[in-house]
Amino acid sequence: MEPSQCFFAHEIIKNIDTPLFILNPAYDVWQIQHILAPESSDTQQSWQRCKLNIHNCDSNQIESLQGFRVALLNSLSDFQHNRNGGMFIDSCFIHCQTISNITWHSPNSPKINNKTYKL
């Protein structure tokens, strides 16, 4: 493989033996603005409103977001069987969500079995 590929998470994760818990959104505002629909490829600015607020996305854009989410989950599929690991993948539209208590302690916080990632 090309050595630079080793820096991508989906490659690194294959060789991790230590316990690891992955906390990541399936897509967030930064990923959409800089990876999925950067300004250089959105010359018609059709993603502009969607990038600012997910509620402004049309059905085609939502489908693209879901495709982005599925690609991430597929790249993590082998890790799901890792006995020393776990993951919390949500669909929050917030970048750097782990540093904000409001993200995890509001009534609308993502939960699994009625628990957030911060106990």
pLDDT for 60 equals: 94
Residue 9 lies in a domain: no
Dist CA 41 CA 102 (whole Å): 33
The domain total for the chain is 1
Q: What angle do CA 25, 110, 51 make, to 5 degrees?
A: 45
The dihedral built from the CA positions of residue 79, 19, 99 and 7, taken in this order, carries a sign that is negative
Where the chain has pLDDT below 50, the residues are 119
Residue 119 lies in a domain: no
Residue 12 lies in a domain: no
Neighbours of 58 (CB within 10 A): 12
pLDDT for 102 equals: 65
Pairing mode, strands 85-90 and 20-25: parallel
pLDDT for 63 equals: 93
Report the SS3 class of residue 106.
coil
pLDDT for 119 equals: 46
91-102 burial string, b = 16+ CB within 10 Å, else e? ebbeeebeeeee
Report the SS3 class of residue 88.
strand
Tens of pLDDT, residues 50-78: 888 888 999 999 999 899 889 888 888 88
Residue 36 lies in a domain: yes
Residue 2 lies in a domain: no
Determine contact, residues 86/22, Cβ cutoff 8 Å.
yes
Provide the domain limits for residue 61. Answer: 22-105
